Amino acid sequence: MKTMQERFDEKVIPEPNSGCYLWTASLSTHGYGRFNRGGGDGQNIGLAHRVAWELERGPIPPGLVVDHLCRNRACVNVQHMEVTTHRVNILRGVAPMALAHMTETCRQGHVGTFKPQLDGWRRCTTCRRMYAQAYYERNRDQLLERKRQYRQAHTEAARAYQRAYRKREPQRHRDLERARHARKRTGAG
- Residues 116-154 have pLDDT tens digits of 777 767 778 888 899 999 999 999 999 999 999 988 888
User: Domain-by-domain residue ranges, the chain?
Assistant: 4-102, 104-138, 148-186
Spell out a b/e string for 15-42, using b for 16 or more CB atoms within 10 Å of the CB, else e. Answer: eeeeebbbbeeeeeeeebbebbeeeeee
Q: How many CA atoms, within 13 angstroms, populate the side-chain half-sphere of residue 56?
A: 16
Backbone phi, psi, residue 66, to 5°? -95, 125
Options 3.30.420.10, 3.90.75.20, 3.10.290.10, 3.30.360.10; CATH of 4-102: 3.90.75.20
Q: pLDDT tens digits, residue range 145-157?
A: 999 998 888 888 8
**pLDDT tens readout for residues 36-95:** 887 666 668 899 999 999 999 999 999 999 999 999 999 999 999 999 999 899 888 888
Return the DSSP state at 10: T
User: Cα torsion for 154, 158, 161, 166, to the nearest 10°?
Assistant: -170
How many other C-beta atoms can be found within 10 angstroms of the C-beta atom of residue 68?
A: 20
